[in-house]
Structure formats: structure tokens, C-alpha cells
């Protein structure tokens, strides 16, 4: 009626959504869309999830779709892999990816290798998801980033969201994918609100696996990151902008397959590269990016060596002051950019 009267209707505005709620929405929508999808893990059902990601889903979908498991990662990951081979689409939650080490045989030897070893006749459509990397005050056995570990393994897809849109779009894409996907979330981001566009509020919103996003356009230096450090890069870019340095910030979103083309195009434009990650330096995600740039056409456009910003090469200390010094901070990124630009 308003349109007939010639009145302009405004589109629904973007809304603020936390990463936790975005993940919950994605699970809810995919459980509703496909009856083959089910969620299992420790405390995901009656307790609503250790981080409340699965809040309300057990009451809505019942015991067969949202399943509490014993504290045995090897056991419930094996059940999930077998279910995927039999035609279901399980979402397997690890309370922390540090404990996915208990199930590494199931993730790599069972899930990742089966499609190849069966000549493509057996698909394993499974998502392994949960918090990855450092949280706050939980010490070494709960604070490791496994992006490089899982990104190393052919047969897996590995995604690492930063924003609420990343979390929703990548989880939905992962559940719909016919390959095993490892989704590395971050506990410290769960409660952080991000703007979610009208498009992302759709039930059909997915983010293609393997495509990075340029979060901030720039001309002087390329910052490449994933997960929580993307936010640090955005903060560092704002600080550096006041000093006349224009940073381009790339949110990888996917670790494997890696969108190196987007990084190359940015380096061709800016002539400088800084990688930022929370993981250890040796054989890390940043090391892979630097190698790929060095081996490819963008190398000829670099005006200075690439610089890596990483976590410290030690098991994570418990004490807060030591923990802070082991995790990349905004000041570390600013320092690395100035080093790359020789200013």
C-alpha cells in the first residue's frame, strides 16, 4: 500500500549480533533445513553448551538431533565420523580444540583421508568446531592455535571466522560441504557484537569456503590475519592512519584452501606484507603466506622483506602479564608495520 502511494520503503537496517548468537542461528537454521544434520559433544544438549552456542536447540530438536556425549573426544569424534560415512551430516563440538588432540586419529586418518582412499566413493560431510587458540588465564593446555596443524593436512577444509557474519556464513557453508571441515572459533570473540547486514540475516546466507575478505582498503602495507587478531589489525590500522600510514587489512576467513590470490593482489598494490596470527611462529600460517608470496608473482613487487607477527614460541604461561606478552598486541603490529616500511 505504501509503495502504491509512492512512499519510499527503507530496507531493514543492519543489526548488532554477537558471534555466539550468530553460531546459534546457523546451527538452528541448518538443523531445521536438513534432517540429516545433528550436533554432538560435551554438554551441548541439556546444559545448552559450555559456551551457550547451542542454547535452546535441545529443547527444540530433541535427543536425536542434539546429543550429550561422555568426556571422550576419541569416542564421540569416531561416532560422528562413522555417522558422516553413513550419510548423516554431524557437527562435532570440541569444548576446546586443544582436546581435539585426543581425537586426532579420527579427524585425520578417518575423516580427512577417506574420500581420497576410497577414490571418491565415500564422502565424509562432517564439521569439527569449537574454540581455538588462547582464551584468558587458562594456561598452556587450553591456549594453542591449531590453524597450522589442521591447515597442513590434505583432505580437510579449515575455516577461521572473525566477525558474526564470518561465523554464521562459514558454519552454514561448512555444514553443507561434502568434505570434512575444521572450524576454528575463538572463545574471546563469542560475546563480541558485530554488525550483521540484511543479507547475512537470511537463512540462505553462506560465505564461500576459500575466499578471503578485504576488511579495510589501503595502499601502503598489507596486513593479513585470521580470527581474533583481525580485530587487532583493524585497531593497528586506525592508529597508523593517524601517522599517515594506510593499511590494507585482509581477513583470511579460510586457512585451507588459502585465498593467496587476494593476498597477492594486495601486495602488488601496497608493496609490503605483514602477517599476524596468535599461533606459534615455526611452520605457522604466516610462514606459509610468506612462502607462497615468495614463490609467486607478487614477490617482485615487494619493496622490503615480509614481517611476521606471531605468538611467542613458548607454551602459554598462566600469569596474565606473561600471557599478554605471549599474544600479539596492537603495539606489536604497529611496530612490525613500521619495521616493514623502515620508518
8 Å CB contact between 280 and 313: yes
* Active-site option among 42, 142, 264, 277: 142
142 is catalytic: yes
**Which one from 29, 30, 42, 73 is the annotated catalytic residue?**
73
Q: Which residues of 274-310 are buried (b: 16+ CB within 10 A; e: fewer)?
A: bbbbbbbeeebbbbbbbeebeeeebeeebeeebbbbb
29 has catalytic annotation: no
* Residue 231, burial from CB neighbour count under 10 angstroms (0-12, 13-18, 19+): buried
* Cα–Cα distance, 91 to 67 (Å, whole number): 10
Helix (H) or strand (E) holding 24, with range, is: helix 19-33
For residue 250, CA distances in Å to 257, 292, 318 come to 15, 16, 31
Residues labelled catalytic? 73, 142
Amino acid at each position: 500500500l505504501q509503495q502504491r502511494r509512492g512512499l519510499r520503503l527503507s530496507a531493514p537496517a543492519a543489526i548488532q549480533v554477537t558471534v555466539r548468537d550468530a553460531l546459534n542461528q546457523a546451527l538452528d537454521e541448518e538443523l531445521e533445513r536438513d534432517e540429516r544434520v545433528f550436533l554432538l559433544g560435551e554438554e551441548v544438549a541439556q546444559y545448552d553448551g559450555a559456551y551457550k552456542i547451542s542454547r535452546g536447540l535441545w529443547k527444540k530438536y530433541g535427543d536425536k538431533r542434539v546429543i550429550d556425549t561422555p568426556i571422550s573426544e576419541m569416542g564421540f569424534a569416531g561416532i560422528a565420523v562413522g555417522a558422516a560415512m553413513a550419510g548423516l551430516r554431524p557437527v562435532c563440538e570440541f569444548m576446546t580444540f586443544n582436546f581435539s588432540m585426543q581425537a586426532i586419529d579420527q579427524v585425520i586418518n578417518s575423516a580427512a583421508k577417506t574420500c581420497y582412499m576410497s577414490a571418491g566413493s565415500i564422502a565424509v560431510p562432517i564439521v569439527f568446531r569449537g574454540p581455538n587458540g588462547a582464551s584468558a588465564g587458562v594456561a598452556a593446555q587450553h591456549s594453542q592455535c591449531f590453524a597450522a596443524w589442521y591447515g597442513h593436512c590434505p583432505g580437510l577444509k579449515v575455516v577461521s571466522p572473525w566477525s558474526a557474519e564470518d561465523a554464521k556464513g562459514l558454519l552454514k557453508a561448512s555444514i553443507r560441504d561434502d568434505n570434512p571441515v575444521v572450524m576454528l572459533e575463538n572463545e574471546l570473540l563469542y560475546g563480541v557484537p558485530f554488525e550483521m547486514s540484511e543479507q547475512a540475516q537470511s537463512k540462505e546466507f553462506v560465505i564461500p569456503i576459500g575466499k578471503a575478505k578485504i576488511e579495510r582498503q589501503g595502499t601502503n602495507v598489507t596486513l593479513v590475519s585470521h580470527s581474533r587478531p583481525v580485530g587487532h589489525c583493524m585497531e593497528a590500522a586506525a592508529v597508523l592512519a593517524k601517522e599517515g600510514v594506510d593499511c590494507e587489512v585482509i581477513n583470511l576467513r579460510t586457512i585451507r584452501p588459502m585465498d593467496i590470490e587476494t593476498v597477492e593482489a594486495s601486495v602488488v598494490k601496497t608493496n609490503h606484507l605483514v602477517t599476524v596470527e596468535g599461533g606459534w611462529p615455526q611452520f605457522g600460517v604466516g610462514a606459509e603466506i610468506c612462502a607462497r608470496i615468495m614463490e609467486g608473482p607478487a614477490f617482485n613487487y615487494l619493496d622490503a622483506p615480509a614481517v611476521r607477527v606471531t605468538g611467542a614460541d613458548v607454551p602459554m604461561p598462566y600469569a596474565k602479564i606473561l600471557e599478554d606478552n605471549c599474544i600479539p598486541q596492537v603495539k606489536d603490529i604497529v611496530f612490525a608495520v613500521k619495521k616493514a616500511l623502515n620508518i
